[in-house]
Amino acid sequence: MTNIAIETRSVIVEREIPYPPEKIWRALTQPHLIEEWLMKNNFKPVVDHRFNLSADWGGVDCQVQTVEPNKTLSYTWDTKDLESVVTWTLTATSAGTHLRMEQTGFRSDQQPYFRGATVGWQRFLTALEDVLARLD
């Protein structure tokens, strides 16, 4: 039997955000807020919950992998022939929260997906910060 390792790439975006992890967690896990910064969805922060994200261009099939309230959230992100995992990590800091988003699983033959995610997540996180600024 031959084991062939498939090298994959990740998109990582990190930001210092001047809000506590609890506030950011709300925006990452409440469907009406997710819709404001990411896409329409039927998300529930429950391990193994299957949900969909949808936009004008199509959709993403997802399944929740990890839920550690106010700390870590991960879910699969499958669309067309891309199978990846998105992981959010929240770390409280003296000024708010260090937010880290990592999407793993981009194969070397998936450059368009990788480039799209690199640009897309920057926009999504800017929109997330806009939503956070409006939350009480």
pLDDT of residue 5: 57
For residue range 74-102, what is the model confidence (pLDDT) as tens digits?
A: 999 999 899 999 999 999 999 999 999 99
Spatial contact of 76 and 63, defined as CB atoms under 8 Å apart: yes
For residue range 63-73, what is the model confidence (pLDDT) as tens digits?
A: 999 999 999 99
pLDDT of residue 136: 81
CA dihedral 70, 103, 123, 30 (to 10 degrees): -40
DSSP string, 48-99: T-EEEEEETTEEEEEEEEEEETTTEEEEEEEETTEEEEEEEEEEEETTEEEE
Identify the band that residue 52 occupies on the pLDDT scale cut at 50, 70 and 90.
very high
pTM higher than the cut 0.85: yes
pLDDT at 3 over 60: no
The fraction of the chain above a pLDDT of 70, given in percent, is 96
Spatial contact of 36 and 127, defined as CB atoms under 8 Å apart: yes
pLDDT of residue 4: 53
pLDDT at 112 over 60: yes
Q: Which 3 state secondary structure label does DSSP give 121?
A: helix
